Structure 1
C-alpha cells in the first residue's frame, strides 16, 4: 500500500460516481474516509463497496470533499464549513464561480474553502459506477482565490496527487470559460445531434456507424444534472454557442450554393480547421501525438477479442486506443486500433501472418 500524503481523515459528502471514486482511491492508500449522503441507500451501497465508513460522533476530518449537484453545492459547503470549523473544504462541481460568489454573499468562511473540478466522469453516475482509478492521469483543476492560504490549500493538493490526477491551477473565471468550450458546449451539441435521431427513419438509424456513435456518446448523460450545469455557466456557454451559430450559418450558406465560385475552397477550409483543432487536443499522457489506425475484423464469438489483444501484446506493440463497432446483421465486429506510426507496418504484418483480416 502506497502511503497517503494526507495526514488526517477525509469526509466525502455525496457518494455518487465522483464521491465513491474518491473514497475508493483514498482507501487504497489507507486514508480514513468518512461518507455522508442524503440517500441512505446510496450511503449503504458506497460503504458496502468499500469506499469508506459511516460518520461517527467526534469525527474531526482534515479535509471535506463535497460531491453534490451544482444547485446545492454552495449550501452544502457552507454547512460543512460551519459544522467542522477546523477542516478545509472543497467541492468537485463542474462550475466554480457561482458557488464561490454564493458563499461570499452568505458570509461563509471562504478562508477554508477552495473549489476544484476533476475532469473525469462517465455517462452513468451513482455509487455502483465508482472506480478507484477514475482520476488517474486526468486533469484536476484547483480554482484558487485570494482568500485562502497556501497552507490551507495544501491538503487539497495532497488529495489530488494521492488520486493520481494532474493538478491544474486556474481562477474560477478561467475554469468556467474553459469548461464551457471543452465540456459544456460539446454536451449541448451532442444532445442536439442525438435528438435528430428521434424521428429518423429506421433505415437511416440502422446505418449508424462509429461516427454518429462518437458524436452522440455523451448525449446519454443525466438531463437533470446538465440543466443545473448549463444554468450555472449559462453566459459562457451562450457566448460559445453564438460563435458556433455563426460557423453553422457560414457553412450552410456555402452548402446551399455548392457550385458558386470559391464554395469548394471555403468548405475545405472549414473542414481543415476541424483537423487543426483536433490536433490540439492532448493525447495519451498529455502528448499532442497523432496515432496510426488500423481496422481488424473480429468474429463475434467468445474469446476472439481477447485473442486479438493478446497477439498485439505478443507483437511488442503498445495499444494506444481501441474502439469497437459491430456490423448490423452480421456476426462480425471491427476493432479500430491506434498505435504509434512507426509500429504500424510491423503490427499489420504480425497480425496478417496469424490469420487476422485487416479491413483498413
Structure 2
C-alpha cells in the first residue's frame, strides 16, 4: 500500500493511522474539526489535510449514521481509489450508500473489533488492532481489487480479517457488544441511587461489569439506534429471563408459609440454573480459560 487517508481522527481512525505509519505508509488525516486532525498529526499519525492526488484507500472513521454521506462526499472529491469504513453497524450504511448512488464497486464495509472506553485521538494506540478480528462485509458489487486492498489494510494494522455478511455481522455485534453495553449502562445507572457509604464497598466485580458503560453516550446512541432491531431482540430475551429471576428471588425472600417449601425449592433451582448457564456462556468467549482468566496470546473481541 502506497498511501492512505483517514476521515475522522477519533480513537479508531487515529489508531489506524498510527498503525499504518508504523508500517511506513504515508497517511493523510481529515476531520470536520481541523484541530482534532492536527492533534492526531502531532501524535505522529500522519499529515493533516487533503492529499494532492488520490490515495490508495480511504478509511471512513465516523459514526454509523454519517458513513454513507461521508463516503458519497469523498468519492465525489476523488479522495481515494478504494474506500472502507470502521462502523460497528453494517446493514444500514450499505443500504444508505446504495440509495445515495455511491460507487459500491470501490467500497468495502469493515469493522475492527477493538476499542477502549476513552475516546478521541489522545486515546489512540498503534497496536490497538494487533491480533484482533477485523470484519469485512463485501457486497455483491464490491470489486476484487478493493477486497484485496482492504484486506491488506487490516493486515498492516496487525489484525486478522474475517469475512461476514452484513446482517450476520449486525446480529453478532448485537449479542457480543451492543446489548452488553446497554446492560452495563443500566447496572452503572443504579449506582446513582447508592449512598456514598455503599459505594465504598465497590470491588473489582462491579468495575468489570460496568467498564464499558464509560463510553461516549452520544456515539453509543447512534450505534444502538443504527442496529436497533437486532439489539432489541437480544435485550427482550434478557428482560424475559430477568423478570423470571426477579419473581424467583421474591419467592426466596418471602417468609414461610407465604411461599410453600416446594415453591421455594423451585425458585432456588431456577436461580441456580440461570447462574450455571451464565458460567457456561462465559466459557464460550474465545480467549478465556475456565474461571474467566484470560489466556495470553489469544485474541478476544470487545
Question: 6, 9, 17: which is aligned to 1:15?
Answer: 9
**Counterpart Cα distance in 2 of 1:15 and 1:292:** 34
CA RMSD of aligned residues (A): 1.8
Equivalent residues in 2 for 1:301-320, closer than 5 Å:
320=296
The residue number in structure 2 matching 1:358 is none
Q: Is the 8 A contact 1:139 1:166 kept in 2?
A: yes
The residue number in structure 1 matching 2:278 is 274
TM-score, with length taken from structure 1: 0.76
The residue number in structure 1 matching 2:184 is 190
Question: 52, 55, 70: which is aligned to 2:49?
Answer: 55
State the 4+ residue runs in structure 1 displaced beyond 4 angstroms.
Answer: 318-321
Equivalent residues in 2 for 1:180-329, closer than 5 Å:
180-258=174-252, 259=261, 260=263, 261-283=265-287, 289-290=289-290, 320=296
The residue number in structure 2 matching 1:300 is none
TM-score, with length taken from structure 2: 0.91
**Counterpart Cα distance in 2 of 1:57 and 1:163:** 21
Q: Is the 8 A contact 2:61 2:87 kept in 1?
A: yes
**Counterpart Cα distance in 1 of 2:4 and 2:138:** 20
Q: Is the 8 A contact 1:120 1:138 kept in 2?
A: yes
Give yes or no for the alignment of 1:28 onto 2:32: no
**Counterpart Cα distance in 2 of 1:14 and 1:292:** 35
How many residues are aligned here? 287
Compare the two structures and name the one with the higher helix fraction: 2
Cα pair distance change 1:22/1:11, threshold 3 Å = same
Deviations 1:146-187 (A, max 9, x none): 111222211000010111111111011011110011100011
The residue number in structure 2 matching 1:174 is 168
Deviations 1:295-320 (A, max 9, x none): xxxxxxxxxxxxxxxxxxxxxxx994
Cα pair distance change 1:266/1:103, threshold 3 Å = same
Structure 2 residue runs of 5 or longer lacking an equivalent are: 253-260, 298-302
Q: Once the 2 structures are TM-superposed, how far is the Cα of residue 263 of structure 1 from its aligned partner?
A: 2.1
**Counterpart Cα distance in 2 of 1:12 and 1:109:** 18
Q: Is the 8 A contact 2:132 2:160 kept in 1?
A: yes
Q: Which has the larger radius of gyration?
A: 1
Deviations 1:106-137 (A, max 9, x none): 11111111110011111111111111100011
Higher relative CO (CA 8 A, sep ≥ 6), structure 1 or 2? 2
**Counterpart Cα distance in 1 of 2:190 and 2:171:** 28
The residue number in structure 1 matching 2:70 is 76
Q: Once the 2 structures are TM-superposed, how far is the Cα of residue 291 of structure 1 from its aligned partner?
A: 6.4
Structure 1 residue runs of 5 or longer lacking an equivalent are: 1-5, 294-317, 322-360
Cα pair distance change 1:98/1:56, threshold 3 Å = closer
